[in-house]
Amino acid sequence: MHWYLVYTKPRQEKTALENLQHQGYECYLPMLSSEMLRQNVLSVVSVPLFPRYLFIRLGTGLSAKGWGPIRSTIGVSRLVSFGNELAMIDDCLIHLLRLQESAHHTQPQRLFAKGEQVMIVDGVFSGLEAIYQKADGEGRVMVLIELISKSVQLRIAPASLGKLG
């Protein structure tokens, strides 16, 4: 048994994973918890670590499950290959990815980091640069802005911020 790489249709990694598993294939889709803005609300969502890719474990002998149904599975675009050779993935890499995923599963990747320079893109202070401080737990974030040579703390909706650069 070896691990191979499946290229999925756009944003259909989970669909492909479920359909392949229903067919009896062993698959792995590494996920990452990340903060995202959805409908102007900052929320933690689970996203694929490698967008449009998932791993599948296939045998090579006569008793192995056929590879043919994979291509016609809903959500799957194709098996990744280099010429006529399928892209084989080492078991060690899958093991390391699983370790990393479990270690980072509790801490989401933040949209903004403390001390990061941001730009206010909406509202009265639109166009001002600010320094991101923290989320306040009430659906807003705290930033520091410079007004009249003095740093002032401002509570603002996360949708009103943009990354600089």
Q: How many CB atoms lie within 10 A of CB 141?
A: 24
> Contact 75/13 with Cβ under 8 angstroms?
yes
- What is the rounded average pLDDT of the residues 43-52? 87
Domain segments of the chain as ranges:
2-104, 117-163
Give per-residue pLDDT as tens, 52-110. 999 999 887 655 677 788 989 999 999 999 998 989 999 999 999 998 888 766 666 67
Q: 164 pLDDT band (50/70/90 cuts)? A: confident
- What is the rounded average pLDDT of the residues 19-30? 95
Residue that wins the pLDDT comparison between 50 and 59:
50
Instruction: For the domain made up of 2-104, give the CATH fold.
Output: Alpha-Beta Plaits (3.30.70)
**Cα dihedral 43→44→45→51 (10° resolution):** 110
Instruction: Specify the pLDDT at position 138.
Output: 64
Residue that wins the pLDDT comparison between 30 and 45:
30
Instruction: Specify the pLDDT at position 62.
Output: 54
Percentages helix, strand, coil for the chain, rounded to the nearest 5?
Answer: 20, 45, 40
Helix (H) or strand (E) holding 7: strand 2-8
89 vs 67: CA distance, rounded Å = 16
What residues have CB less than 8 Å from 65, skipping those under 6 apart?
24, 25, 58, 59
Q: What is the assigned CATH class of domain 117-163? A: mainly beta
Instruction: Specify the pLDDT at position 66.
Output: 72
Instruction: Specify the pLDDT at position 105.
Output: 64
Q: How many CB atoms lie within 10 A of CB 46?
A: 12
